[in-house]
Structure 1
Amino acid sequence: MEKEEEEQAIPDAPLLWNAPLQVIKYPDPRLRAGNATITRFDDTLRAFAKDMFDAMYDDEGVGLAAPQVGVNIRLMVFNEMGKRGEGEEVVLVNPEIISYGKTQDLFEEGCLSFPELYGNVERPTKVTIRAHDEFGKRFKLTLSGWPARIFQHEYDHLQGTLLPDRMQPEVRENIAAGLEALVREFQATNPGTSPAL
C-alpha cells in the first residue's frame, strides 16, 4: 500500500467553481497541488459532482478527479461505460485505499489532462477502498478489472501523481514529444505561471 500524503482539512471553506467545468491540461500546477479533505456534504457539493460528470462526458472520459477541473479537493467521479444514461455513476469523496489485490496487469491508459497521449501502465487488478458518497455516507467497496483501473487512475490525481509518473521510462519516452508540446502550449497561454512537470 502506498504511503498517502497528509490530507489538508479545510472545515468551512466554500466550494467555488465556474460552470461549465473545463478539464485542465498538463503541466497546469493545480494537477500537482495538494487536495483538501471534504467536510461539508451539501447541495453545493452535489451540484459540483454533477458538473464534473458533465465535463467528463463532454470530453468522452470514464473518470474525472476534481483537480483535473482546477478544484483541489478530494473528490472523483466515474462511470465505466463513459456514456450518460448507461452504466452506474459513482461519486467518491475522500477515498482511501484499504488494500490492493495480488495480481497486476498491463493496459494502455489515456488521460483527459493529457489529450491524445497513451501508454501502458501496470496496476493491481483489484482494490478495496473506503469513501463517502456525496451525501456523506461512509462505505467500503471492492473494485475489480476495469473499474479498479479507473479508480486507481483517478485516485492518483488526488495524490498529485500523473499518468506519465506511472509509465516505465521506455513508455514515457514514446510520449515525450507530446509532453513537450503540452508544456509549450501551457507556457504560451499562461505566461508567468510556472508549469508543474
Structure 2
Amino acid sequence: MTYWDPIPTVRALVGRPHPLWRGDRVSRDWSGPAPDGWEQRDWRGVPGPFYAANSDNCLTGRQCAPDHVTYDDHGSEFVYRQPRTPAEVHALTCAAECEPFGSYGGDGDAHWTPESVRDWWRNRARVREWAVGVGWGPWATALSDWMNDAAGGARAYVAHIDGDLGEYLRGYLFRLREGRPARVGEGLPGL
C-alpha cells in the first residue's frame, strides 16, 4: 500500500462549496493546527495528519465520517482512521466543519516522527483494549443510539488495528522519512 497525501485535497476545499453539502462553503483550511493545539490531541487518535483536540460532545463526527471518527467515553471525537481518497477527505472535513469548537487539526505531519509513530504502534494494545471495552461492553447493548454508534466505531477501530493499520503506518513512516510517498517497488520501513 502506498501512502496517499490528503493535504492537497483539504487545501483545495477552502472557500469552495463542500462536495457533501448544498452550497455551504468550507470555512477554513483544515490542514492547519487544531485551536487547542497538538499537545491536547486525543491519545487514541491514529498517527497521520488529522487529529482532534478537546472536541465537543455533540456526537456529530460519525454522522459525516463514520469510517474515520469515533467517540471517547464522554462523546468527544477523535480520528481513528486517516483518509486515503478525496471522498474520505470530504467526509472528514465535513466532520471538522460540523464540530462546534473547530477542534480538528491537519498538521500532524509536522509533529509525528518515525520514532513517535513506532512508539504509538508499540503501545497500540492500550488503544485496542479501550476500543474492545467500548465496542463489546455495555455501550454495545445500551438503549442509546449514540452509545450503540460509538460501540460500532470502536469495533471498526479494532478491525483497523488488527487489519490494515500496520501497513498504512509503514507507508506513513516512509512519507515522514522521505517527504514523499513510496513508489511501486520501494521497500517500506518496519514498525
Q: TM-score range by the shorter chain?
A: under 0.3
Higher strand share goes to which structure?
1
TM-score (norm 1): 0.27
Looking at secondary structure, tell me which structure has more helix per residue. Answer: 2
